[in-house]
Structure 1
């Protein structure tokens, strides 16, 4: 697999970043729901939120890198069989996914820095508390963070269902491209041979 994208498929870097972000978002969502139920006497009471915050900061860096790569490098051309409505819906979904990702991470940052302390990232570096001590900052940001996270995971689920629909029902190469497969080598992505020229 090539590192960069081609006209027909996504490259190794785009594919890796896509699935890394997807798995991390689901993992952070599950961890967040679990850790808020912990009590002071649970072994993970302090370590689970610390991991959640640190991975959230690292996710921000990865998403920024992915967005930079997405805007800088070439992108595969739209699948020819997709309608105009499908293409617009996909573009809108991608914009919303990125907007929700950054909104979730920003609200998480506001929760973590409400008391003025920086966010420690696995003891390697710290993110300073640039915004803190706002009235009700932790509570308000916490509610916003939860609702945004639910919206993000729900939209990501619809995104996944759409990809499966394209793969199973439409039998087009949409999902194969994000798995790093070359659609040109797949029966469902193979172009029909050109008709012979009239002699």
Structure 2
């Protein structure tokens, strides 16, 4: 298997980044969904948010690396069998996922740093609070974070269903390319 993308195939780095981000996003969603119902006396009341924030910061770094890799090694072109509407939907769908994830993570950062404290990433390093003067910052960033998280997870689910449709109904190589089999 090749490391870099070619005009017809994804390379191993793009494939690994894709699946790492996908698993991380769904994992963070599940953790976030679970932890909002924790009460003060729960044994993981402070641990769960710390893990969520730390992984979120690492995901932000991974997404920056993914964008850089996308620039260094552009993804393969659209399949010839895809019509113009499918190509547009693919382009706009991927743009929504990329932009949506960055907005989601920035909103999470704004929630976490609204009180002026930085975010410790597993005790390895701290991301400082740089923007704390927005009125009701924690509240509006929280709403953006919550609704966008739902939108991204639902859209990513549709993205996965579309890949399955391409594989089982259209019988094209869309899914195989992202699994490194084509």
TM, length-normalised to structure 2: 0.97
1:133 shift after superposition: 4.2
Residue 172 (structure 1) aligns with: 172
1:22 equivalent in structure 2: 22
Q: Aligned partners of 1:144 and 1:74: how far apart in 2?
A: 30
**1:112-145 Cα shifts (integer Å, max 9, x gaps):** 0011000000111110000114322112211111
**Mapped partners of 1:163, 1:75: distance in 2:** 16
Distance, in Å, in 1 between the alignment partners of 2:123 and 2:74 is: 37
- Counterpart of 1:131 in structure 2 is 131
Structure 1 position 36 matched with structure 2 position 57? no
Cα distance in 2 for residues equivalent to 1:43 and 1:141: 27
- Name the CA distance, whole Å, in 2 between partners of 1:144 and 1:8: 37
| Aligned length in residues | 182
Question: Paired residue for 2:47?
Answer: 47
Aligned mates of 1:29, 1:55 — CA distance in 2: 11
After TM superposition, the structure 1 stretch with the greater mean CA deviation from structure 2, 58-67 or 73-82, is 73-82
Aligned partners of 2:133, 2:78: CA distance in 1, in Å? 47
Q: CA RMSD in A?
A: 0.9
SS at match of 1:126: strand
Q: Normalization by structure 1: what TM-score? A: 0.89
Partner of 2:77: 77
Q: Kindly provide the CA deviation profile for residues 161-186 of structure 1, in whole angstroms up to 9, marking residues without a partner as x.
A: 1101000000000000000112xxxx
Q: Hey, what does 1:91 align to over in structure 2?
A: 91
Once residues 143 and 83 of structure 1 are traced to their aligned partners in structure 2, the CA distance between those partners, rounded to angstroms, is 37
When Rg is computed on C-alpha atoms for both structures, the one with the higher figure is: 1
Structure 2 runs not aligned, ≥5 long: none
Separation in 2, partners of 1:76, 1:139: 41
Q: Could you report, residue by residue, the CA deviation over 1:45-99 in whole angstroms, capped at 9, with x for unpaired residues?
A: 0000000000000000001111111122132121111001100110000101111
